[in-house]
């Protein structure tokens, strides 16, 4: 029996702390474990006995990269529990702040974390020495995303202007118009990003994923729509717990999610694109076609192109919202506490984010459940490794390790959200 | 204004999380410096790399203050001339995406955006607990760094 052991103590360019174990015997991968050893963070317990109105600010603290997603899932779930729907300009402003988050988070991942894999650099700093103009383009693009969040959220990281029912303060039309010129330049940079990433060299692989994402009603989804899958699932957020389950696994402090009937599934850009590509803006759709994506992309290495397309869409959508913006009469709608349970799923940059809250009659939170995208994607990430690594077992240790790391980075996992470093241990059996 | 525009642009970037004990050392230096420096030059940041990069843009001189965890004694002050070489990464890698101050400065260098004069003052922290105040040794170091920075910036 031939076997080999490789250990990597830290996986770079991912969000959070974790490890990977890969065991191979006689040239066949036997086991892959994506270990998350970041301590549990107990946010669901922190929320108990706090007022419903505190959830957006508490949950925003789960992630410094995608706080808007946590705020949006929280406010939608609370509004669901309180029996109100926020519409009109306030809904548009929520889509706009989500555009900001997709732009900044995706651009960070595309340029600083993922692109070095394809261009053969150790990281963004090494890449910047040879491609300064490209890295500057990425930084400029990211900055525009941050500026949207700063304007609507009060600050760039952990925004403080989002509330259940709307916002504390809504922007004046002229404030949004000031973003417009920067966004037009950002849209050009986003289009250049799609073309740049489309030119990378990708492994010719596909996976038979069950894609899970919100399906918008003719609209590329941020916060609204039914939870759909490529294998026929079509449910309201309130039905999530009936169809999905989370399980503890020994090797991870983050729970693993699965579809009860079928097992692993994938959320994130590939899933959103597969279920909603027809709803992209014409410019984003055209760029996706030009990049060769088709209507479904099942090659996780090509997710970098899909992220770039989503950044282009977010720039386009932000411009549309700004062009049509009418200042709302009030920054938020009135709410009356009541007992009830509320559910919501929204689309964080790296995947679907589910929140459920049970409220007491006085508006205090009796119970909270939060299922972050990385928990949902962990089993699929392990299956990616198991599927792809077989073809790489003949590679030298450093190359094999790099391929495995890249396979994980394809899904931009946010380990901090899910429960922070990744250690990689490859055991080839001898 | 014209005089001001021609003036050598100097930024003092004070980094830290005010809610995390000694991590707030940089922010405390900012408060101490405001007593004797132009308010516009003093910038407080939590340390996200791309924001640090943006703050350095166009500066002729940058003085950066941050807490660090290098294993030295609490309150120990280290001064690094970034023009002479990179910051030791292990002491400053507090960022969740692997992009901390050390990486931000190296990215600036790679992009040709590192200010011609760039100095980092690092204050060794003792504890970084949520909600904690500065430990006594770090609070003392904050005052010393403020005085040293004033002398370095004003040439006094």
Using the Cβ of A259 and the Cβ atoms of chain B, whether some distance falls under 8 Å is answered with: no
pLDDT of res. B143: 95
Q: Name the 3-class secondary structure at A41.
A: coil
pLDDT of res. A420: 29
Domain holding A149, by residue range, is 43-376
Residue A255 belongs to domain with CATH number: 1.10.645.10
| Two tokens, residue A340 | 């009830």
DSSP A251-274: TBSSPEEEETTTB--B-SHHHHHH
Dump pLDDT digits (tens) for A298-307: 999 999 999 9
DSSP state of B133: -
CA A252/CA A379 separation, integer angstroms: 11
Residue, of B93 and A188, whose pLDDT is higher: A188
Q: Give Cα separations from A171 to A88, A184, A328, B81, B151 (angstroms).
A: 14, 19, 9, 43, 43
Beta carbons of A139 and B50 less than 8 Å apart: yes
Residue B98: inside a domain, yes or no?
Answer: yes
User: If contacts are CB pairs under 8 Å, which of residues 114-153 in chain B contact chain A?
Assistant: none
Closest residue, chain A, to B103 (C-alpha) = A125
Query: Residue B117: beta bridge partners?
Result: B61
Please tell me which of the candidates A64, A136, A420 has its beta carbon nearest to residue B111. A136
Residue B3: inside a domain, yes or no?
Answer: no
Beta carbons of B96 and A129 less than 8 Å apart: no
Residue, of A67 and A249, whose pLDDT is higher: A67
CA A190/CA A186 separation, integer angstroms: 6
Residue B116: inside a domain, yes or no?
Answer: yes
Closest residue, chain B, to A16 (C-alpha) = B96
Using the Cβ of A420 and the Cβ atoms of chain B, whether some distance falls under 8 Å is answered with: yes
pLDDT of res. A37: 56
CB-based contact A276:A227 (threshold 8 Å): no
Dump pLDDT digits (tens) for A228-285: 999 999 999 999 999 999 888 776 767 788 999 899 999 999 999 999 999 999 999 9
Question: Under 8 Å CB-to-CB from A286, ≥6 apart: which residues?
Answer: none
CA B150/CA B12 separation, integer angstroms: 10
Residue A234, min C-alpha distance to chain B (Å)? 34
pLDDT at B98 over 90: no
CB pairs under 8 A between A and B: 50
pLDDT of res. A426: 60
Please tell me which of the candidates B53, B97, B98 has its beta carbon nearest to residue A139. B53
Beta carbons of A156 and B106 less than 8 Å apart: no
Residue A46, min C-alpha distance to chain B (Å)? 15
Using the Cβ of A129 and the Cβ atoms of chain B, whether some distance falls under 8 Å is answered with: yes
Residue B1, min C-alpha distance to chain A (Å)? 24
Q: State how beta strands A18-25 and A422-427 pair.
A: parallel
Residue A117: inside a domain, yes or no?
Answer: yes
Q: Mean pLDDT over residues B82-92, rounded?
A: 79
Domain holding B29, by residue range, is 9-154
Q: Mean pLDDT over residues A50-69, rounded?
A: 90
Q: Mean pLDDT over residues A93-114, rounded?
A: 95
Beta carbons of A142 and B50 less than 8 Å apart: yes
Please choose, from the candidates A157, A50, A366, A45, the residue with its C-alpha nearest in 3D space to the C-alpha of residue B97: A157
Q: How confident is the model at residue A421 (pLDDT cuts 50, 70, 90)?
A: very low
Residue A58: inside a domain, yes or no?
Answer: yes
Domains held by chain B: number = 1
- Residue B82: how many other CB atoms lie within 10 Å: 21
Conformation bin of residue A352: beta by default, left when phi > 0, alpha when psi is -120 to 50: beta
Q: Name the 3-class secondary structure at A415.
A: helix
Residue B39 belongs to domain with CATH number: 3.40.50.1450
Q: Mean pLDDT over residues A382-402, rounded?
A: 87
Q: How confident is the model at residue B92 (pLDDT cuts 50, 70, 90)?
A: low
Q: How confident is the model at residue A408 (pLDDT cuts 50, 70, 90)?
A: confident
CA A411/CA A407 separation, integer angstroms: 8
CA A168/CA A301 separation, integer angstroms: 41
| Percent of chain A whose predicted confidence (pLDDT) is above 90 | 68
Beta carbons of B111 and A142 less than 8 Å apart: no
Q: How confident is the model at residue B54 (pLDDT cuts 50, 70, 90)?
A: confident
Dump pLDDT digits (tens) for A321-370: 999 999 999 999 999 999 999 999 999 999 999 999 999 999 999 999 99
Question: Under 8 Å CB-to-CB from A377, ≥6 apart: which residues?
Answer: A266, A267, A268, A350, A351, A411, A413
Enter the ipTM: 0.78
- Mean pLDDT across chain A: 89
| Percent of chain A whose predicted confidence (pLDDT) is above 70 | 89
CB-based contact A146:A105 (threshold 8 Å): no
The phi and psi torsions of A252 (rounded to 5 degrees) equal: -145, 140
Residue A125: inside a domain, yes or no?
Answer: yes
pLDDT of res. A368: 94
Residue A14, min C-alpha distance to chain B (Å)? 6
Please choose, from the candidates A42, A82, A164, the residue with its C-alpha nearest in 3D space to the C-alpha of residue A360: A82
Beta carbons of B97 and A113 less than 8 Å apart: yes
Of the residues A128, A135, A137, A155, the best mutation for testing chain B's interface (the one with the most B CB atoms within 10 Å of its CB) is A128
Q: Name the 3-class secondary structure at A358.
A: strand
Domains held by chain A: number = 1
The phi and psi torsions of A352 (rounded to 5 degrees) equal: -70, 140
CA A299/CA A170 separation, integer angstroms: 41
């Amino acid at each position: 029996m031939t076997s080999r052991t490789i250990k990597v103590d830290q996986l770079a360019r991912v969000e959070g702390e974790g490890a990977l174990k890969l065991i191979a015997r006689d040239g066949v991968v036997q086991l892959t474990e994506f270990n998350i050893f970041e301590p549990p963070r107990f946010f669901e317990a922190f929320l108990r006995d706090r007022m419903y109105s505190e959830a957006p600010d508490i949950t925003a603290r789960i992630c410094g990269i995608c706080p808007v997603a946590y705020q949006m899932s929280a406010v939608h779930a609370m509004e669901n529990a309180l029996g109100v729907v926020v519409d009109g300009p306030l809904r548009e402003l929520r889509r706009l702040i989500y555009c900001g988050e997709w732009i900044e988070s995706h651009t960070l991942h595309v340029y600083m974390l993922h692109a070095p894999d394809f261009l053969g650099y150790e990281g963004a700093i090494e890449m910047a020495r040879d491609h300064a103009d490209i890295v500057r383009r990425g930084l400029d693009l990211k900055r525009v995303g941050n500026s949207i969040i700063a304007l609507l959220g009060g600050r760039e990281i952990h925004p403080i202007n989002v509330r259940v029912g709307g916002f504390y303060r809504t922007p004046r039309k002229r404030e949004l118009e000031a973003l417009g010129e920067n966004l037009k330049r950002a849209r050009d940079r986003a289009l250049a990003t799609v073309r740049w990433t489309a030119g990378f060299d990708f492994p010719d692989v596909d996976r038979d994923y069950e894609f899970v994402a919100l399906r918008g009603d003719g609209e590329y989804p941020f916060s609204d729509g039914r939870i759909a899958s490529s294998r026929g699932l079509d449910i309201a957020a309130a039905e999530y717990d009936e169809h999905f389950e989370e399980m503890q696994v020994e090797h991870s402090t983050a729970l693993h999610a699965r579809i009860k009937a079928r097992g692993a599934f994938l959320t994130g850009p590939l899933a959103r694109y597969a279920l909603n590509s027809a709803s992209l803006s014409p410019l984003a759709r055209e760029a996706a076609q030009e990049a060769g994506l088709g209507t479904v992309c099942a090659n996780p290495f090509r997710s970098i192109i899909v992220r770039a397309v989503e950044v282009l869409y977010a720039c386009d959508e932000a411009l549309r919202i700004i062009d049509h913006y009418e200042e709302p009469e009030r920054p938020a709608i009135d709410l009356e506490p009541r007992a009830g349970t509320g559910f919501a799923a929204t689309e964080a940059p790296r995947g679907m984010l589910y929140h459920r809250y049970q409220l007491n009659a006085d508006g205090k939170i009796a119970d909270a459940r939060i299922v972050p995208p990385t928990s949902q994607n962990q089993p699929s990430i392990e299956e990616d490794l198991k599927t792809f690594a077989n073809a790489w077992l003949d590679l030298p240790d450093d190359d094999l390790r790099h391929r495995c790391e890249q396979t994980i980075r394809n899904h931009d996992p946010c380990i901090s959200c899910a429960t922070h470093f990744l250690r990689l241990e490859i055991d080839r059996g001898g | 204004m014209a005089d001001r525009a021609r003036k050598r642009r100097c930024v003092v970037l004070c980094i830290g999380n005010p809610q995390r004990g000694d991590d707030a050392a940089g922010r405390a230096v900012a408060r101490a410096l405001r007593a004797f420096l132009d308010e516009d030059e003093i910038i407080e940041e939590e340390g996200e790399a791309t924001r640090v990069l943006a703050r350095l843009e166009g500066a002729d001189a940058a003085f950066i203050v941050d807490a660090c965890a290098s294993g030295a004694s609490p309150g120990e002050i280290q001064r690094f001339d970034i023009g002479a070489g990179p910051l030791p990464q292990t002491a400053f890698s507090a960022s969740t995406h692997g992009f901390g101050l050390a990486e931000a400065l190296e990215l600036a260098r790679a992009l040709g955006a590192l200010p011609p004069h760039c100095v980092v003052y690092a204050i060794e922290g003792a504890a970084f607990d949520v909600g904690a105040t500065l430990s006594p040794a770090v609070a003392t170091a904050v005052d010393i760094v403020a005085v040293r920075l004033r002398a370095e910036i004003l040439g006094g």
